[in-house]
């Protein structure tokens, strides 16, 4: 049975603390994120294949609080990537509602969705998606090109983001001069350079060895704990989902209960 | 939408990054634009040469020749006809030189002059006409000197003088200026007038007259350069008249004596020989308004001389009337009116025929160039489709991190425009190099002939700008569909492509 919006999971301790501090201080905002960041109601995504209609997502409803770290698990074809695409405004639902930070997203124009992606969302992909002939710094600065940020400021912010992922000494290197782990860290720096409220990761450790994968996971955990960045990670790997504060399991386009058995079934034979 | 500066930087970076794609796309444009500018520059040059030979902006009204029992009964072109033509709606009445009558010298005359040490004698009767001086104002020198000096009453140099002694041999020898100092030879007649380069002593009224100003057509210079100079071992004359004349010591080198009523053709018109009258002339300029083969002088001189030798009728009858119409498309209407109402006709204009032929040739050449450029635009479209497919993931990534559809469209169109612009510049440079090569070959291997140009090409600014606009425009056109496809790509699908 899919979890309902009426019964969202309690926010993490630090978010609650921030909410209380904010309330007591009587200020309108706080340093840490508060409230519901993502709300989905009866979301569906259909694809037409000839005469047949395929439901990649079918009646998905849940909410994610700001500052949460959520893993979405499920076997291949369960609809988790489709869900991530919709959460990232890369795709639009065929039915249902999607509210991001209190705003309806499904009715936005294509240009507005591009602006939402640029200002509020960071993406980390399994295959890094770096520009091969551009340096690490240029790759990281790329999202700022679509804002009115001067070149010098772009480079400064890109250098800062690279320093944040421990690659200050590699900013002049091109992707082919970097290891897999370093490439993924460049991709993470690119996702962070716009200071997004939501970080969406699609199998971020899928192309990494276990040691490098662990480093990336530790970085995510630290990012979530220290900076309060909301993370939604699509993964096959239990070691990734195990560090999430909440796990959403999917099967055949629908949410399933997140019992240990269901999770084991959702992970299938993925690495522990 | 992304800031324009960032867009430009991204376009340049992407273009530099894919050099192979750039070369493949730009190659066709370079060839197309090179042919485009070479074709246009060559036809432009041919047109300007043709206009020198045949001024195409005007028509010439003539009376059809008719005779009865050996007597010329052709319709007379007089001032009445001129007024009727001037009143026509096809003619620009505000322009005083829109209708210009010409009057031919209607009796025999012969010329004699010294040119580069050669004593030249030539026939003037039939090869000279008169024209309104206002119509001939090609340069400052012509404007200053080409006028009716004899008609001026206030010329202070019209002083009394002793003419040369009678010349029983009718040699019409020019009067040389007196040498400086005391080197005058006894028994030799020297020009006694002030400014002997410009004035001579007239036999009839025994006063100093300004030399008769003469203009010649560029055709005469070309005939001289192409035939006469070579056969007589004389130097080539530059069409830049000022340079030509100053290099030969000013006006004194281009003087002629004209024997009115005399002829180089033995036995002809002996009745008129009794009235001979020697005048002196000077060449003051080269003008396309001059008669093509012969010399042209202010019409007032011809009127006076025709009256002096043949009577009033010859002094009021024009040989032709030059008419400049408002629009060349009105020639047919004007010609019909001439024929129906005045029984006159337009002289067959070779220039008109050449201009039409040139227009067709130019059209064909432009079409050929456009076909080449269109093919290169299709080639660009093909290359860009391939590139958009190759760059699918990259474009998907750009969309994922915030590029709008218009950002992607503008980036791809910008790359196409840049390829077009650089291809256009290279094409213009290639065209110019081809032209320089042809000119060098022509100067070295082609013998001189009348109107042979120093360059076969005239790269006017509008040709170069047109070439660049064409290359950029066609390139953008070729890149549009691929750009549209790139911008409409679903980012989620593009990112998952293998």
| B399 contact A CB<8A | yes
Does residue A195 fall inside a structural domain?
yes
Q: What is the pLDDT of residue B350?
A: 65
Higher pLDDT, B24 or A139: A139
Q: What would the mean pLDDT of B172-199 be, rounded to a whole number? A: 76
B394 and A114: CB-CB below 8 Å? no
Q: Which residue would you say has higher pLDDT here, B220 or A221? A: A221
* CB nearest B393 (choices: A91, A129, A133): A129
* Residue-wise pLDDT tens digits, B266-282: 655 545 545 778 898 88
- Through-space distance between the first and last CA atoms of chain A, rounded to whole angstroms: 25
Does residue B345 fall inside a structural domain?
no
Instruction: Tell me how many residue pairs between chain A and chain B have CB atoms under 8 A apart.
Output: 61
- Asked whether residue A36 is domain-assigned, the answer is no
Q: Do B405 and A110 touch (CB under 8 A)?
A: yes
Residues 276-335 of chain B with CB under 8 A from chain A are none
Q: Check whether residue B204 and residue B110 sit in a common domain.
A: yes
- Residue in chain A closest to B408 (alpha carbons) equals A146
**How many domains, in total, are found in chain A?**
1
Task: Say yes or no for a CB contact (<8 Å) between A85 and B407.
Answer: no
Q: What is the pLDDT of residue A212?
A: 84
The pLDDT tens digits for B141-165 are 788 888 899 888 788 888 888 888 7
Average pLDDT, stretch A200-205? 89
Q: Of A168-177, B113-122, B203-212, B215-224, which range is least confident?
A: B113-122
Statement: residue A31 has pLDDT above 60: no
In this prediction, residue A14 has a pLDDT band, given cuts at 50, 70 and 90, of: very low
Domain that holds residue A244: 67-91+110-267
Instruction: Report how far residue A272's alpha carbon sits from residue A241's, in angstroms, rounded to the nearest whole number.
Output: 10
In-domain check, residue B459: yes
Which chain A residue shows the shortest CA-CA distance from B9? A145
Does residue B106 sit in the same domain as residue B181?
yes
Residue B291 and residue B156 share a domain:
yes
**Nearest Cα residue in chain A from B13:** A134
pLDDT over 90 for what percent of chain B? Answer: 23
pLDDT band at B254 (very low <50, low <70, confident <90, very high): confident
Is the pLDDT score of A270 beyond 70? no
Average pLDDT, rounded, for chain A? 81
Please report the residues numbered 196 through 255 in chain A whose beta carbons come closer than 8 angstroms to any beta carbon of chain B.
none
Co-location of B48 and B104 in the same domain? no
Residue B72 located in a structural domain: no
Sign of CA dihedral B367, B368, B370, B371: positive
Give the pLDDT of residue B144.
Answer: 83
- What is the distance between the alpha carbons of residues B423 and B425, in angstroms, rounded to a whole number? 5
What is the average pLDDT value for chain B, to the nearest integer? Answer: 83
Q: What is the mean pLDDT of residues A101-117?
A: 88
The Cα of B8 is separated from the nearest Cα of chain A by a number of Å equal to 11
Kindly tell me if the per-residue pLDDT of A200 is higher than 80: yes
| B246 has pLDDT over 70 | no
pLDDT at A28 over 70: no
Residue A26 has pLDDT above 60, yes or no: no
Q: What is the mean pLDDT of residues B63-72?
A: 75
Are residues B215 and B151 part of one domain?
yes
Hey, are the CB atoms on A143 and B492 less than 8 Å from each other? no
In a domain, B310, yes or no: yes
Query: Do B307 and B373 fall into the same domain?
Result: no
More confidently predicted of B178 and A173: A173
Q: How far is CA A198 from CA A206, A227, A241, B114, B482, in A?
A: 20, 12, 17, 99, 33
For residue B286, which phi and psi values (nearest 5 degrees)? Answer: -110, 130
In this prediction the ipTM stands at 0.81
**Stronger pLDDT, A34 or B457, i.e. the higher one:** B457
User: What is the CA angle B361-B366-B369, rounded to 5?
Assistant: 130
More confident residue, B356 or A34: B356
At A25, the pLDDT band (50, 70, 90 cuts) reads very low
The answer to whether B401 contacts A146, with C-beta atoms less than 8 Å apart, is yes
Tell me whether residues B402 and A119 touch, CB distance under 8 A: yes
pLDDT category, A12, cuts 50, 70, 90?
Answer: very low
The answer to whether position B337 is within a domain reads no
**pLDDT band for position B137 (cuts 50, 70, 90):** confident
Nearest to B492 among A85, A115, A118 (CB): A85
What is the distance in angstroms between the Cα of B496 and the nearest Cα belonging to chain A? 10
pLDDT at A201: 92
Structure tokens that stand for A38 in this block: 């993502």
Residue B36: inside a domain, yes or no? yes
What's the whole-model pTM score?
0.64
Number of domains composing chain B:
2
For the stretch B301-332, pLDDT in tens is 999 999 988 888 888 999 999 888 887 677 77
Q: Of B4-18, B458-472, B479-493, give the lowest mean pLDDT range.
A: B4-18
Same domain (yes/no): B159, B225: yes
Q: Quote the Cα angle for A82-A102-A39, to 5°.
A: 40
Q: What are the residue ranges of helices labelled H in B112-255?
A: 140-145, 218-223, 229-232, 241-246
**Residue A205, domain member (yes or no):** yes
d(CA A222, CA B481): 46
Q: What is the pLDDT of residues B282-303, one digit of tens each?
A: 888 878 788 888 899 999 999 9
Cα–Cα distance for residue pair B405/B1, rounded to 1 Å: 9
Structure-token match 């022509």, residue found: B442
- Give me the domain span that covers residue B131: 99-323
Is A123–B404 a contact, with Cβ atoms under 8 angstroms apart?
no
Would the pLDDT of B258 be above 70? yes
Q: Which helix (H) or strand (E) holds B16?
A: helix B4-17
Q: Looking at the partner chain, which of A81, A123, A145 has a beta carbon nearest the beta carbon of B2?
A: A145
Residues B316 and B414 grouped into a single domain? no
pLDDT attached to residue B250: 56
Tens-place pLDDT, residues B80-133: 999 999 999 988 888 888 898 999 998 888 888 877 667 778 888 888 999 998
Instruction: Give the span between the Cα atoms of A208 and A213, in whole angstroms.
Output: 5
Residues B142 and B290 in one domain: yes
Structure confidence at residue B4 (pLDDT): 83
Percent of chain A with pLDDT over 90: 36
> Is residue B495 within 8 angstroms of chain A, CB to CB?
yes
User: How large is the average pLDDT for residues A111-133?
Assistant: 90
Judged by average pLDDT, the poorest of A104-118, A156-170, A201-215, B40-54 is B40-54
- B111 and B43 fall within a common domain: no
pLDDT at res. A137:
94
B398 has a chain A CB within 8 A of its CB = yes
Residue A4: inside a domain, yes or no?
no
Look at A90 and B6 and tell me if their CB atoms are within 8 Å: no
| Backbone φ and ψ of B366, nearest 5° | -65, -40
What is the per-residue pLDDT across B464-489, written as a single tens digit (0 to 9) for each? 999 999 999 999 999 999 999 999 98
- Band of pLDDT at residue B423, cut at 50, 70 and 90: very high
Q: Is there a single domain that holds both residue B45 and residue B110?
A: no
Q: Is the pLDDT of residue B230 over 70?
A: yes
Q: Is the pLDDT of residue A140 over 90?
A: yes
Strands of B276-378, DSSP E = 277-286, 295-298, 320-323, 345-346
Q: Are residues B424 and B298 in the same domain?
A: no
Question: Which residues of chain B make contact with A90, given a CB cutoff of 8 A?
Answer: 399-400, 490-492, 495
The answer to whether position B68 is within a domain reads no
């Amino acid at each position: 049975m899919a979890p309902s919006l009426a019964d969202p999971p309690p926010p993490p301790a630090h978010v609650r603390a921030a909410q209380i501090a904010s309330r007591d201080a009587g200020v309108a905002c706080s340093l840490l994120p508060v409230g519901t960041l993502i709300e989905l109601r009866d979301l569906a995504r259909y694809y037409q294949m000839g005469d047949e209609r395929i439901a990649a997502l079918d009646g998905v409803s849940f909410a994610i609080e700001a500052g949460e770290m959520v893993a979405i698990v499920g076997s291949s074809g369960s609809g988790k990537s489709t869900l991530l695409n919709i959460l990232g405004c890369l795709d639009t639902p065929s039915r249902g509602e999607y509210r991001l930070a209190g705003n309806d997203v499904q009715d936005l124009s294509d240009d507005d969705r591009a602006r939402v992606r640029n200002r509020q969302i960071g993406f980390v992909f399994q295959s890094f998606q770096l520009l091969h002939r551009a340096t690490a710094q240029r790759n990281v600065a790329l999202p700022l090109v679509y804002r009115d940020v001067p070149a010098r400021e772009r480079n400064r912010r890109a250098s800062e983001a690279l320093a944040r992922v421990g690659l200050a000494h590699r900013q002049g290197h091109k992707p082919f001069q970097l290891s897999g782990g370093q490439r993924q860290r460049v991709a993470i720096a690119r996702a962070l350079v716009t200071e997004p409220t939501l970080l969406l990761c699609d199998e971020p450790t899928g192309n990494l060895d276990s040691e490098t994968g662990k480093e990336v996971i530790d970085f995510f955990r630290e990012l979530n704990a220290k900076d309060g960045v909301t993370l939604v990670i699509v993964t096959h790997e239990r070691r990734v989902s195990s560090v999430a504060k909440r796990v959403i399991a999917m099967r055949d386009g629908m949410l399933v209960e997140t019992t240990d058995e269901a999770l084991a079934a959702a992970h299938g034979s993925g690495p522990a | 939408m992304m800031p324009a500066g960032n867009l430009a930087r991204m376009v340049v970076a992407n273009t530099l990054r894919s050099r192979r794609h750039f070369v493949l796309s730009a190659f066709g444009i370079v060839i197309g634009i090179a042919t485009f500018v070479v074709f246009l520059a060559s036809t432009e040059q041919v047109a300007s040469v043709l206009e020198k030979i045949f001024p195409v902006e005007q028509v010439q009204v003539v009376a059809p020749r008719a005779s009865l029992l050996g007597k010329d009964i052709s319709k007379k072109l007089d001032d009445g006809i001129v007024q009727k033509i001037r009143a026509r709606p096809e003619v620009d009445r505000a322009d005083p030189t829109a209708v210009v009558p010409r009057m031919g010298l209607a009796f025999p005359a012969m010329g004699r002059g010294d040119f580069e040490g050669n004593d030249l004698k030539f026939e003037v009767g039939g090869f000279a006409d008169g024209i309104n001086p206002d119509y001939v104002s090609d340069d400052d020198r012509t404007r200053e000197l080409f006028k009716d000096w004899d008609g001026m009453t206030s010329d202070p140099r019209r002083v009394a003088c002793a003419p040369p002694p009678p010349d029983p041999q009718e040699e019409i020898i020019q009067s040389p200026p007196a040498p400086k100092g005391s080197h005058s030879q006894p028994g030799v007649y020297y020009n006694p007038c002030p400014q002997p380069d410009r004035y001579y002593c007239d036999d009839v009224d025994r006063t100093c007259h300004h030399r008769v100003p003469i203009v010649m057509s560029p055709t005469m210079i070309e005939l001289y350069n192409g035939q006469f100079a070579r056969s007589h071992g004389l130097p080539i004359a530059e069409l830049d008249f000022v340079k030509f004349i100053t290099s030969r010591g000013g006006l004194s080198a281009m003087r002629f004596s004209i024997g009115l009523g005399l002829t180089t053709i033995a036995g002809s018109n002996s009745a008129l020989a009794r009235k001979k009258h020697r005048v002196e002339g000077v060449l003051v300029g080269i003008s396309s308004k001059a008669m093509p083969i012969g010399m042209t002088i202010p019409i007032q001189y011809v009127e006076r001389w025709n009256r002096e030798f043949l009577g009033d009728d010859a002094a009021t009858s024009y040989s032709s009337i030059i008419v400049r119409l408002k629009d060349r498309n009105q020639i047919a209407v004007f010609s019909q009116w001439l024929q129906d109402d005045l029984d006159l006709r337009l002289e067959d204009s070779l220039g008109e025929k050449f201009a039409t032929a040139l227009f067709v040739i130019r059209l064909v050449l432009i079409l050929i160039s456009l076909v080449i450029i269109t093919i290169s635009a299709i080639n660009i479209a093909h290359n860009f489709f391939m590139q958009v497919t190759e760059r699918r993931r990259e474009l998907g990534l750009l969309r994922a991190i915030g590029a709008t559809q218009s950002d992607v469209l503008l980036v791809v169109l910008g790359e196409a425009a840049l390829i077009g612009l650089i291809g256009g510049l290279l094409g213009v440079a290639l065209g110019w190099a081809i032209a320089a090569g042809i000119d060098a070959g022509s100067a070295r291997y082609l013998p001189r002939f009348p109107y042979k140009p120093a360059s076969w090409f005239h790269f006017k600014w509008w040709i170069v700008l047109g070439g660049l606009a064409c290359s950029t425009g066609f390139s953008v056109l070729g890149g549009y569909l691929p750009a549209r496809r790139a911008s409409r790509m679903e980012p989620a699908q593009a990112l998952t492509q293998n």
